[in-house]
Amino acid sequence: MSRDWAELERGLRRLLPSRAVVAARQELLAYDCDGLTLHRHQPPLVVLPETTEQVAAVLRFCHENGVPFVARGSGTGLSGGAVAESEALVIATSRMRRVLEVDLENRRVVVQPGVINSWVTRAVAGDGFYYAPDPSSQVACSIGGNVAENSGGVHCLKYGVTSNHVLALEVVLPDGTVTTLGSDLDETPELDLRGAFIGSEGTLGIATAITLRLLRAPQSVAVLMADFGSMEAAGEAVRRVTAAGVLPAGMEMMDRLVIEAVNDYLRGVEGFEEYPADAAAVLLIELDGQEREVVAAAELASALCREAGARQVRQAWQEEERALLWKGRKSAISALGRRFPSYYLQDGVVPRSALPRVLAAIEALSERFALPVANVFHAGDGNLHPLILYRDGEPGVRERVQELGAEILRLCVDAGGSITGEHGVGSDKRCYLDWMYGPDDLATMQLLRDAFDPQRRANPGKIFPTPRSCAESARRVQVLKAEGVELPAEAVVF
Amino acid sequence: MRPEPHELQELVRDLHRQATPWLPAGSGSRLEWGPPVQPGPGRSAPLALSTARLDRIVEHNPGDFTVTVQTGTPLVVLQQELARHRQWLTLDWPWGTAEAPATGGGNALGAGTVGGLVARGLAGGYRQRHLGVRDQLIGIGLLRADGTAARAGGKVVKNVAGYDLMRLLCGSWGSLALITEVTLRTQPLPPQRRGLWLHGPLQQLQPLARWLLGSSLSPERIDWHRRTLPDAADAAGAEALLVSLASISPQTLEEQVACIRQQADQAGVRTEVLDPERLEAHLELGRGSSAPRPAWLLRAGVPPRRTDELLRARELDGASAVIGAGSGLGDIWGSAAQLPAYRVEALRRRCRELGGHLTVLRQPPGPAATAIPAWLDAPSRPLIETVKRQFDPKQQLARGRLPGVQPPP
């Protein structure tokens, strides 16, 4: 349906200061994609509200005029979630960057959604506190975006993801109503709509004030780095460490392709010690807590790594030393980017015990598609981040890349896992969601959506498979119907 | 009713066709907690549909630290199975579990079912280290009021595909669906565990609690106990802190114990070190073992820093309480004589003034008109009611019991 965006712009200008309305073509370009640059769609109009009241006024206006909208934080998402694919108003929170309240006595902080993840820790670090979820984009991504995606990070193995750290949300519903979900306490006698809202990818409304739990900074932190001759041995080390009752803050693994790329990339950088050239896997384990506990855990974990076949285990205790051990992992994507100009970063999850099997299968797929796949992953929770490497410009390569990406996700689902551990479904993976869930499961999720957004104007088209965009799903429905299977009415929409 | 698993869906569909109200139930050990459920026309008690026959541990993957279990499984059976693999579900037994169920000889029903624990969503002191019930839940299977079976989440510890219906259902008190299966995270059993019972005057215990919370030690629990011992006096000495420590190393555990003891000595607080067995005995006190089935059982919550004020509140006189020092959440109980209704009302007002809330889990029987509402309206009440209508359009499930909506008198 075509809308009169000039007319809508005039209406919005009556509600907002003029600097809060973006309509110039060149300026709109900045909003045409998120961190997933494969999909680009320039929105017709963007607004930049600064307060809850302004967000509410905009959403009431959208409600009265039947306008769909897409909420957007910093635009660092990796699943296309913050992009207006069909004509919709983009509501960016990048001017909602105030820390509203710091309450160290009760270990919580209230922020506007545009506040950058790492600013939260920066605001309270001087007092010995921090905010635990730390996605790798934490210097750029916003807390509002973290809430929408239920973001994780390297340390979520021990400390959990965003939903474990959000106590309350002030939310503007798609009809412009402002409400509060949850409270300052860990438990509130009400349906946990706060928990249901987190990770809903902008399809239930817009969070305008977010109460976060703070943690006490650990007394001591140690990083272990172990290299292995085979991925199986590295996997065994992970198994032994966790089974022994050691709960590391994070466990990160890199495979041979990453190791080679990192060695090339960091060769000659002061203090960087190259990984052994013949290593098949490098495992980083970060331990934190009370000093003596960390010492005991580091000793135990080192011994278990050696028992599993680690050839060398290094320990770092001082901040600079730790940063050097982490440097390879943190440079992994840049290092691969130097070798291969383009990459497609996937995000799948498998049960930890299935890791070796799935990694071997990914390797076989990589050969079949003649596309290199590098693996960096959160080994502790089975969250894989395969990077499919390619040279753009090769004819048909993008289709091949997408197809390989889908095959890898298929492997994850078949192994009992998930198509996304932390990047969200967005537009990128909505056609795979029905690999995990049947029509009744998806229809049940839509019940929640219909309670919040009966007209489905909030981030339309995201998460759930739609027939228009998911030919495969649509075909399957047709086949099922042709076979005489009775589908619930809702199934038609997928 | 205790239908067999294969009968369940058809039964629920039948009830839906007839628009019969019913109450999702586990073993029925705590069915009377919370707001009264309206029985529906022509009935004196609500029709409870029990998951007791859904009692299978579907899949325990020790290497992945996950377990999938049918929700009628007694909690004690699940913990015993996990313990065989040196793992556990990091949650307390629910209040009222009198005997030590994990050591055998306990009454399996005393702790209720896994489904009951999830549906109430109330966590105990282990929250200090391990967070709450909803934080352990990674997958769910449910049966909607119309008999539709659905799932959400999955079997991996990290998963953001689709809406988080696990959280929606956790703590929903049976109001949205019958939870039939859950997948939970498990953890290794700590190889070493010690307890500390710290007792003395409240004004000396309070700085010690603050020190503990701010220290680099990471106890599994730091619980305030008030009058939980059978012979506890009302005056000074009625309060204590129960601390539980866990570690992979006996040596560091002893160091932590010594560190706390030293701090306690300086504060003039008496310390009793508890081996795991005695620790368990003290945990039982915190679940009300000295006063089974009290007239009043309340769930209180205040911002953590206001816990001191709650403990000092005159409204608490005569009552027993266990409150997490780090969470501000806990249970309060007492007889009708110890806690007159007006004082419960006052206690609720006090909790609200302090920025928290009070839920009435049990209250003395009496005319409905004089009953204290189990919970009050949440700010999002209209939205909660909309969600309810979506999931249960004929208002069949746990009629009158919807968290965040003040029950009608």
Q: Would you list the domain boundaries of chain A?
A: 5-92, 99-216, 218-339, 430-483
Predicted local confidence at residue B237, as pLDDT? 52
- B87: DSSP letter: E
Q: pLDDT tens, A243-278?
A: 888 999 999 999 999 999 999 999 988 888 899 989
Q: Nearest 5 degrees, angle CA A159-CA A343-CA A260?
A: 80
A144 falls in which pLDDT band (50, 70, 90)? very high
> Cα(A285)–Cα(A303) distance, rounded to whole angstroms?
13
Instruction: For residue B68, tell me if it sits in a domain.
Output: yes
Look at A185 and B357 and tell me if their CB atoms are within 8 Å: yes
Check whether residue B60 and residue B161 sit in a common domain. yes
Q: Which residues of chain B from 203 to 262 reach within 8 Å of chain A, CB to CB?
A: 214, 216-218, 247-249, 251-252, 255-256
**Is B275 inside a domain boundary?**
yes
Residue A475 has pLDDT above 90, yes or no: no
CB contacts of A383 in chain B (<8 Å) are: 158
Topology of the domain comprising A218-339: Alpha-Beta Plaits (3.30.70)
Partner-chain contact A193 B359, CB within 8 Å: no
Q: List the CATH number of the domain containing B361.
A: 3.30.70
- Interchain proximity B164–A188, CB inside 8 Å: no
CA dihedral A83, A84, A89, A92 (to 10 degrees): 0
Q: How far is B165 from chain A (nearest CA, A)?
A: 6
Cα(A411)–Cα(A356) distance, rounded to whole angstroms?
A: 12
Print the domain residue range for B233.
191-289
**The tokens of B60 are what?**
């325990």
Residue A5: Cβ-neighbour burial (10 angstroms; 0-12, 13-18, 19+): middle
For residues B159 and B203, state if they share a domain: no
Burial class (CB within 10 angstroms; exposed 0-12, middle 13-18, buried 19+) of A393: exposed
- Asked whether residue B409 is assigned to any structural domain, the reply reads no
Region class of A85: left (phi > 0), else alpha (psi between -120 and 50), else beta: alpha
pLDDT attached to residue A478: 57
pLDDT at B124: 97
Contacts of A238 in chain B (CB under 8 A): none
Clarify whether residues B119 and B207 are in a common domain: no
CATH 3.40.50.2300 fits A5-92, yes or no: no
Q: Beta partners for A383?
A: A349, A378
- Tokens 């679940």 belong to which residue? B287
Mean of the per-residue pLDDT values of chain A: 92
Residue of A156, A158, A447 for testing the chain B interface, max B β-carbons within 10 Å: A447
User: What local confidence, expressed as pLDDT, does residue B17 receive?
Assistant: 98
Q: Which of A149, A246, A447 is opposite residue B391, by nearest beta carbon?
A: A447
Domain-embedded: residue B356? yes
What is the pairing mode between strands B239-247 and B192-199?
Answer: antiparallel
Q: What is the pLDDT of residue A132?
A: 96
Chain A residues touching residue B148 (CB < 8 angstroms): 440, 443-444, 488
Assigned CATH class of A99-216: alpha beta
Instruction: Give the amino acid at B360.
Output: V
Q: 3-state SS string over chain A?
A: CCCCHHHHHHHHHHHCCHHHEECCHHHHHHHCCCCCCCCCCCCCEEECCCCHHHHHHHHHHHHHHCCCEEEECCCCCCCCCCCCCCCCEEEECCCCCCEEEEECCCCEEEECCCCEHHHHHHHHHHHCEECCCCCCCCCCCEHHHHHHHCCCCCCHHHHCCHHHCEEEEEEECCCCCEEEEECCCCCCCCCCHHHHHCCCCCCCCEEEEEEEECEECCCEEEEEEEEECCHHHHHHHHHHHHHCCCCCCEEEEEEHHHHHHHHHHHCCCCCCCCCCCCCCEEEEEEEEECHHHHHHHHHHHHHHHHHCCCCEEEEECCHHHHHHHHHHHHHHHHHHHHHCCEEEECCEECCHHHHHHHHHHHHHHHHHHCCCEEEEEECCCCEEEEEEEECCCCCCHHHHHHHHHHHHHHHHHHCCCECCCCCCCCCCCHHHHHHHCCHHHHHHHHHHHHHHCCCCCECCCCCCCCCCCCHHHHHHHHHHHHCCCCCCHHHHHC
Tokens representing A15 are 């509600």
* pLDDT for position B207: 95
Task: For residues A152-180, give the mean pLDDT.
Answer: 96
Please report, rounded to a whole number, the percentage of residues in chain A having pLDDT higher than 70: 95
Residue A65: partners with Cβ closer than 8 Å, 6 or more residues away? A8, A11
Q: What is the mean pLDDT of each run of 10 residues along chain B (409 residues)?
A: 95 97 95 94 94 97 96 96 97 84 48 96 97 97 98 96 98 98 96 94 94 92 90 63 94 94 96 95 88 90 95 92 97 94 96 98 89 97 98 98 94
B21 in a domain, yes or no? no
Structural domain includes residue B217: yes
Interchain contact, A192 vs B66, CB within 8 Å: no
Both structure tokens of B80: 């015993």
Closest to A226 in 3D by CA, of A292, A335, A153, A301: A301
Domain count, chain B: 3
B66 and B126 co-located in one domain? yes
Residue A325: pLDDT over 50: yes
DSSP for residue B77: H
pLDDT cut 90: percent of chain A above it: 82
Give the residue among A419, A281, A402 at the shortest CA–CA distance from A347.
A419
Q: How far is the C-alpha of B109 from the C-alpha of B73, rounded, in Å?
A: 10
What's B217's domain CATH number? 3.30.70.2190
**B213 lies in the same domain as B180:** no
CB B375 to CB A189 under 8 A? Answer: yes
Alpha carbon of B335: minimum distance to chain A alpha carbons (Å): 23
Chain B residues with CB under 8 Å of A198 CB are: 164, 167
Question: Which residues on chain B are in Cβ contact (under 8 Å) with A419?
Answer: 161
Q: Which of B154, B251, B356 sits opposite A436 (nearest CB)?
A: B154
- Chain A contact for B295 (CB, 8 A cutoff): no
* Distance separating alpha carbons of residues A60 and A78, to the nearest angstrom: 29
> Quick one: tokens of A238?
């992970």
Instruction: Kindly tell me if the per-residue pLDDT of A16 is higher than 80.
Output: yes
A184 to B355: CB separation less than 8 angstroms, yes or no: yes
Same domain? For B367 and B318 the reply is yes
Mutate to test the interface with A, among B122, B127, B134, B158 (most CBs of A within 10 A): B158
A333-356 burial: b if 16+ Cβ within 10 Å, else e:
bebbbeebebbbbbbbbbbbbbbb
So what's the pLDDT on residue B102?
Answer: 45
Among B65, B160, B221, B358, pick the best mutation site for testing chain A contact (most A Cβ within 10 A).
B160
Same domain, B61 and B182: yes
Domain contains B338: yes
| Closest alpha carbon within chain A to B185 | A381
CATH number, domain of B138, equals 3.30.465.10
Rounded CA separation A146/A18 (Å): 28
- A312: β partners: A227
pLDDT digits (tens, 9 = 90+) for A64-119: 999 999 999 999 999 999 999 999 999 999 999 999 999 999 999 999 999 999 99
Residue B5 lies in a domain: no
Cβ contacts of residue A413 below 8 Å, gap of 6+? A419, A432, A435, A436
Residues B137 and B249 in one domain: no
pLDDT digits (tens, 9 = 90+) for A380-430: 999 999 999 998 888 989 899 999 999 999 999 999 999 999 999 999 999
Last residue of a domain, one of B136, B161, B188: B188
User: Could you count the other beta carbons within 10 Å of the beta carbon of residue B363?
Assistant: 20
Give the Cα separation of A189 and A155 in Å (integer).
Answer: 30
Q: Which pLDDT value is given to residue B290?
A: 75
Q: What are phi and psi of B396, to 5 degrees?
A: -90, -35
Instruction: Provide the number of CB pairs (under 8 Å) joining chain A to chain B.
Output: 266
Interface predicted TM-score of the whole assembly (ipTM), two decimals: 0.96
- Check if the beta carbon of residue B160 is closer than 8 Å to that of residue A383: no
- Among B259, B289, B319, identify where a domain stops: B289
Closest CA to A494 of A448, A451, A435: A435
Residues of B whose CB is below 8 A from A232 = none
